Structure 1
């Protein structure tokens, strides 16, 4: 063995290799889901992207699936319904021996509130009397942001467990896309959204504990908590390439990075969480220092 052979495992293509890995990403048609799709597929993974809008998924495959070492395969499904999740598992099982990487990327924020007030009466009016602030809105926000992480992860456990048998002991990886909104102490003008993201982060910890620590499965469950990244939720729209834009100067004073997140920042994080076999039960905040400024809730 030559001296250089001793360094082979430290090469980037080996440290962060997702070549020939099978991945599934919910909400892979835009925003952070699309960033994750590109990060994996460009580096050799076969990536199934799932969403409710077929046209959007097909556009991603057409735009970003050419001339890459991996592939992007669209599947239309509504992962907020158990029967459709079951069909999705059956579909992947019919095509693949295992699932190496599952990225649960979902999030909605249905209402914003005026949280600044000069009196208790004004604050009560802002928070309680807002006609859009309803039990149904809270329930809808929670339903989208939390339960599907649980049902997607638990439904795919057998395929995720099979990953290490077919991929040189690569443990199955679940990556839940949460948010720094579930960590910071401020409501950021949307209590329901932030509370749901805090629940998503704790759910990640519980799943990692039950799946790995208590039942000994070779599956890692982690969370990435993004700060502000361009997406349809933060920017309001996408362009013809399914990409969104946030003006750099808008976050100049809100993060130590003096800017919103970029595609490459999220791609780095996705590859790290997918490939680091020693990372389990953790939430990795990728926020440009936003938590440093806003302060954590605990």
Structure 2
């Protein structure tokens, strides 16, 4: 007797459904973090969002937490502090027995630097004296790299419990990096690009070491190109969304535009749900790296 066909497993809700999943997103109050929050919560997940500003988080709950199949819950925290991270773990643990998805999205940019000087003394003046400080490097690395490590490792037991309790599912960590960590140009901010390169390599190391330990948690990263956020647009509107002019990207990116919320949502759902994806960088950049040949 032949076995039945498996058409049901190809339904969208079975491939990408988030119903009943529990997620935590750092920096979930705006930009890519908010895009990720919506993509999971609208499709059925209970999403905890964290960040330093309580008012921003509460506004996300008010604006985007209504009439959806999932739920958005705000918990303020500073993920650059180990003490604050531990408090966050304790608070989540008091509410949930497991964590299915962790998205490390919190990040900051750095000051712009003029790298176009052709005279070595002028270049020295700009890069060594004018625009670079040790504290700038420390702040960016602390936020863009350190927190990925400490938040991920702090939640390992809750993430592992998710895998143990759910047949056919392995919990997942998604680090939000950037194509700035892939390309060779500094893009006029050395420390930011260096931090994103570190984030990509840290993802690989965590994926390897966790798998080598026999712990079933997938660790991947999404490397966005230009998406509208407070970092790229320098501001957000009353719905905590930012915008970028399409015209500025025509001829610079094969897609001819910046990324849309839906582009990021699709990448998040794919990376979170694909059980065969581990230790990888998912580049979502409209073809920017392809066009520049700058890897």
TM bracket, shorter-chain basis: over 0.9
Report what 1:143 is aligned to.
142
State the 1:165 CA deviation: 2.8
Say whether the 8 Å CA contact 1:77–1:84 is kept in structure 2. Answer: yes
Cα 1:199–1:241 change in 2 (3 A) is same
User: TM-score by structure 2 length?
Assistant: 0.97
State the alpha-carbon separation in 1 of the partners of residues 124 and 251 from structure 2. 30
State the 1:2 CA deviation: 12
Report what 1:274 is aligned to.
272
Any idea what SS the aligned residue of 2:241 has? Answer: coil
State the alpha-carbon separation in 2 of the partners of residues 177 and 220 from structure 1. 14
State the alpha-carbon separation in 1 of the partners of residues 228 and 143 from structure 2. 20
State the 1:261 CA deviation: 0.4
Say whether the 8 Å CA contact 1:20–1:46 is kept in structure 2. Answer: yes
State the 1:216 CA deviation: 1.1
The question of 1:125 aligning with 2:128 is answered no
Say whether the 8 Å CA contact 2:27–2:107 is kept in structure 1. Answer: no
State the alpha-carbon separation in 2 of the partners of residues 34 and 167 from structure 1. 27
Report what 1:39 is aligned to.
39
The question of 1:105 aligning with 2:105 is answered yes
The question of 1:13 aligning with 2:13 is answered yes
Q: Which moved more, 1:143-152 or 1:285-294?
A: 285-294
State the 1:267 CA deviation: 0.2
Report what 1:91 is aligned to.
91
State the 1:250 CA deviation: 1.1
User: TM-score by structure 1 length?
Assistant: 0.96
Mapping of residues 23-34 of structure 1, within 5 Å: 23-34=23-34
State the 1:64 CA deviation: 0.3
User: 5+ residue gaps in structure 2?
Assistant: none
Give CA deviations for 1:221-240 in whole Å, capped at 9, x if unaligned.
00000000000000001100
Mapping of residues 207-286 of structure 1, within 5 Å: 207-212=206-211, 214-286=212-284
State the 1:107 CA deviation: 1.5
Superposition RMSD on alpha carbons, in Å?
A: 1.6
Mapping of residues 45-194 of structure 1, within 5 Å: 45-130=45-130, 132-194=131-193
Say whether the 8 Å CA contact 1:177–1:226 is kept in structure 2. Answer: yes
Report what 1:201 is aligned to.
200
Cα 1:180–1:187 change in 2 (3 A) is same
State the alpha-carbon separation in 2 of the partners of residues 242 and 39 from structure 1. 16
State the alpha-carbon separation in 2 of the partners of residues 236 and 2 from structure 1. 60
